[in-house]
Amino acid sequence: MNGPLKVALLGCGTVGSAVLRLLQDQSGDLAARIGRPVEVAGVAVRRPQHHPDVPGDLLTTDAHALVTRDDVDLVVEVIGGIEPARSLMLAAFESGKSVVSANKALLAEDGVALHAAAAKAGVDLYYEAAVAGSIPILRPLRESLAGDQLSRVVGIVNGTTNYILSRMAETGAGFGEALAEATELGYAEADPTADVDGFDAAAKAAILASLAFHTPVSAADVHREGISEVTATDVARAAEIGCTVKLLAICERVAGTDGDSVAVRVHPAMIPTTHPLASVSGAFNAVFVEAEAAGQLMFYGQGAGGEPTASAVLGDLVAVARNRLAGAAGQGPSGYADLAVRPMAETPTRYHVSLDVADKPGVLAAVAQEFAQHGVSISTVRQTGRGDAATLVIVTHSAPDAALSDTIDALREMPAVVGVTSVLRVEGLS
């Protein structure tokens, strides 16, 4: 009855081996905090010969057998990806085991079904480590802010792209050059698609939006644009208007005539250098939250890495272990609000546009007219002449994204417009 709680560890890469190390190093503290010692029952890996540091009798290639073993109480899933992680998680639930996961892709794709399976089995599914590494953000959203109404969650949740954009700003380098540096230093993977094209951030945005708005949101609901088209010119233009370029995961509750909806999107944007998120540089992550009563909050810390991610995994492990000993599962996320997901075209955004135009009478009027025709109101214009050409830098007010992108398309067709040199959305301007 008072024997140790036994944990099955699925996966033993960077995060898994840090989990294993911390479970050993802190066994005394963990036992005191949980009220029972925790012991590793087994470690499922694909290639046991690659894990000489793990005691041989713990290693197994049969993950399914491990999670369904009678003596296993809790499962930690740090394999990542969709399969076999999903099947193993479902098998764990069916055999009455709570799961702690760091799997953003799986949770973002199939969170609703997985939570339903966990609830049916009366067990927990916790995954703080899936978003923003060590930063406690999911528990605060799910619990601390459960008495408030959230209006926005804006995160820098991908360290690789944040490093690349930080370097572009510091050195004036283009995207390709900064990516090459990040790859060389190990900040970007050999295939950087998941980071650079925003898939990683989109999965995290889906998870954040689901919890923030009590509404099921999956990765497919998230409008996604990566940073590969951000140019040195964009970064320079941002600096000229007191801004910096960041890849943002933005989750908003948008009021509409037919009720509220949620808009969830990942794209690069200019934000003022005075915004709390602007100084989050390099591999750090931060999540900025706006709530009706609480006001503005920010959570900041290391977004990746074995040890930081393992810290979040172990925090969840302590929680699910306590729940198991208390005989009650913790509170899962609720989807009761079930708000509609607003298409990107109808989501209000603001644009920054830089144009090279012919410097002759009537051009500014014609350009302004093009914005007006699309129902887009202009916030600021700055015109700089240089010989027979001029540069126009325009920041719009908020308008439906489709109206803004249609305006850009129309500007490109105007004879007086020599070139559209920079287009980026702007966030956080008052």
Known catalytic residues are: 204
Cβ of residue 352: shortest distance to its own copies, in angstroms? 25
Q: Rounded to an integer, what distance in angstroms lies between the CA atom of residue 139 and that of residue 333?
A: 10
Interaction pattern, residues 399-428, with its own copies; x per rule: CB under 8 A:
------------------------------
Contact 215/339 with Cβ under 8 angstroms? yes
Helices then strands (H, E): number in the chain? 14, 18
Q: Rounded to an integer, what distance in angstroms lies between the CA atom of residue 341 and that of residue 354?
A: 31
Residue among 81, 75, 86 at smallest CA distance from 104: 81
Strands 74-77 and 98-101: parallel
Nearer to its own copies, 22 or 75 (CB): 22
Question: Which of 52, 56, 147, 415 contacts its own copies by CB under 8 A?
Answer: 147
Q: Rounded to an integer, what distance in angstroms lies between the CA atom of residue 129 and that of residue 53?
A: 24
Cβ of residue 295: shortest distance to its own copies, in angstroms? 5
Q: Rounded to an integer, what distance in angstroms lies between the CA atom of residue 28 and that of residue 6?
A: 15
Nearer to its own copies, 22 or 106 (CB): 22
Cβ of residue 381: shortest distance to its own copies, in angstroms? 31
Cβ of residue 116: shortest distance to its own copies, in angstroms? 16
- Count the neighbouring beta carbons within 10 Å of the beta carbon of residue 26: 14
Binding segment (CB under 8 A) for its own copies, from list 111-119, 134-142, 174-182, 412-420: 134-142
E-state strands within 255-388: 261-272, 284-291, 295-302, 340-341, 348-358, 378-386
Cβ of residue 312: shortest distance to its own copies, in angstroms? 7
Is residue 24 involved in binding its own copies (CB under 8 A)? no
Nearer to its own copies, 297 or 376 (CB): 297
Is residue 40 involved in binding its own copies (CB under 8 A)? no
Q: How many residues bind its own copies (CB under 8 A)?
A: 56
Nearer to its own copies, 227 or 314 (CB): 314
Contact 176/212 with Cβ under 8 angstroms? no
Rg (CA), the chain: 24
Interaction pattern, residues 327-366, with its own copies; x per rule: CB under 8 A:
xx--x--x-xx-----------------------------
Cβ of residue 45: shortest distance to its own copies, in angstroms? 22
Torsion of CA 9, 11, 15, 17, to 10 degrees: 70
Residue among 70, 55, 401 at smallest CA distance from 252: 401
- What is the distance in angstroms between the CA of the first residue and the CA of the last residue of the chain? 59
Nearer to its own copies, 57 or 336 (CB): 336
The owner of tokens 């900064």 is 178
Is residue 276 involved in binding its own copies (CB under 8 A)? yes
Q: Which of residues 283-322 bind its own copies (CB under 8 A)?
A: 291-302, 305, 307-308, 310-319, 322
Nearer to its own copies, 241 or 299 (CB): 299
Q: Rounded to an integer, what distance in angstroms lies between the CA atom of residue 313 and that of residue 102?
A: 7
Question: Which of 7, 9, 22, 271 contacts its own copies by CB under 8 A?
Answer: 22
Cβ of residue 251: shortest distance to its own copies, in angstroms? 17
Cβ of residue 324: shortest distance to its own copies, in angstroms? 11
Is residue 170 involved in binding its own copies (CB under 8 A)? no
Nearer to its own copies, 87 or 149 (CB): 149
Q: Phi/psi at 327 (nearest 5 deg)? A: 75, 20
Question: Which of 87, 279, 373, 380 contacts its own copies by CB under 8 A?
Answer: 279
- Residue 148: which residues within 8 A CB-CB, separation 6 or more? 291, 292, 293, 294
- Residue 373: which residues within 8 A CB-CB, separation 6 or more? 410
Binding segment (CB under 8 A) for its own copies, from list 142-150, 264-272, 358-366, 384-392: 142-150
Q: Which of residues 210-229 bind its own copies (CB under 8 A)?
A: 214
Contact 138/131 with Cβ under 8 angstroms? yes
- Residue 421: which residues within 8 A CB-CB, separation 6 or more? 233, 237, 354, 355, 356, 391
Is residue 4 involved in binding its own copies (CB under 8 A)? no
Q: Which of residues 226-255 bind its own copies (CB under 8 A)?
A: none
Residue among 295, 296, 124, 133 at smallest CA distance from 204: 133
Residue ranges in contact with its own copies by CB under 8 A: 18, 22, 26, 29-30, 32-33, 128, 134-136, 139-140, 143-149, 214, 276, 279, 291-302, 305, 307-308, 310-319, 322, 326-328, 331, 334, 336-337
